[in-house]
């Protein structure tokens, strides 16, 4: 049974999220306030941690970064603050996903199941350094990529980009992070976006990656990209709205 820590903006909202998770068989512990939640997040083992932005926004994100340094558990921000600046700050602070309320329980659960699935896949690459996913095979040591057994010629930058994404399945990587990994230098947001956009276009074309043919590279608008290993999330039949 997966163990989940939850805290939201108020008691009612926390209980609402906890109820949806418990109906799906999760063991849920809720926290009365953000301070208690952050302390528990750092000191106890969890399969998933769901937090809301509470109190000072600046202080929250600093505390959130601190939590990320103390745990490898998936961290999700579920908040009514849906402005782009909050989403970007949350993902950059280490969140595995940022969900905006109101959100249907079905969509919420689809994200949760996907995050847990990705977490279980992080250590799948065998000691040989070969990652196989669908028709795609990446040999990290030999710098070789094959699709349906046929070799695909990539540039050094394209291979480094694919390697960075594939080794972080389900995690959104910002354009700036990707430029650092691929090009080895810091770039402005606009420059990074332009550089990575070209490399992603070339990768998709050469590898034939698309939502209909997973794995594929998903664009997260205004942030960056992530490596998605499945074409569709787990379907749920919960008809509720989390607010």
Lowest mean pLDDT among 3-17, 138-152, 199-213: 199-213
DSSP assignment of 132-167 equals: EETTEEEETTTTEEEETTEE----HHHHHHHHHHHT
* Residue 128, pLDDT score: 55
Mean pLDDT of 232-241: 53
pLDDT mean across residues, the chain: 85
- H or E segment and range at residue 98: strand 97-100
Give the pLDDT band (50/70/90) at residue 231. Answer: very low
| CB of 145 closer than 8 Å to CB of 159 | yes
Mean pLDDT of 3-20: 90
Mean pLDDT of 65-70: 86
132-155, pLDDT tens digit by residue? 887 889 998 888 999 989 999 999
Instruction: Enumerate domains of the chain plus CATH numbers.
Output: 3-101 (3.40.50.2300), 130-228 (1.10.10.10)
| CB of 50 closer than 8 Å to CB of 76 | yes
214-229, pLDDT tens digit by residue? 678 888 888 889 887 6
98-123, pLDDT tens digit by residue? 999 999 998 999 889 888 877 776 54
Sign of CA dihedral 188, 87, 169, 234: negative
């Amino acid at each position: 049974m997966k163990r989940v820590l939850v805290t939201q903006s108020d008691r009612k909202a926390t209980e609402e999220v906890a109820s949806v998770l418990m109906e799906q068989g999760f063991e849920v512990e809720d926290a009365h306030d953000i301070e208690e939640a952050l302390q528990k997040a750092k000191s106890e083992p969890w399969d998933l941690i769901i937090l809301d932005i509470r109190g000072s926004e600046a202080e929250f994100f600093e505390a959130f970064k601190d939590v990320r340094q103390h745990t490898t558990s998936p961290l999700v921000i579920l908040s009514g603050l849906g402005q782009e600046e909050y989403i970007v700050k949350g993902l950059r602070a280490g969140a595995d996903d940022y969900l905006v309320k109101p959100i249907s329980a079905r969509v919420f659960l689809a994200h949760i199941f996907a995050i847990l699935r990705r977490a279980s896949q992080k250590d799948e690459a065998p000691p040989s350094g070969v990652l196989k996913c669908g028709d795609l095979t990446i040999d990290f040591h030999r710098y070789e990529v094959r699709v349906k057994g046929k070799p695909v010629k990539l540039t050094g930058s394209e291979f480094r980009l694919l390697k960075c994404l594939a080794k972080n399945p389900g995690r959104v990587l910002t354009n700036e992070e990707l430029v650092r990994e691929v090009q080895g230098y810091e770039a402005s947001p606009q420059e990074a976006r332009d550089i990575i956009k070209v490399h992603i276009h070339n990768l998709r074309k050469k590898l034939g990656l698309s939502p209909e043919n997973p794995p594929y590279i998903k664009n997260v608008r205004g942030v960056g990209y992530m490596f998605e290993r499945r074409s569709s999330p787990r379907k749920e039949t919960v008809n509720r709205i989390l607010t």
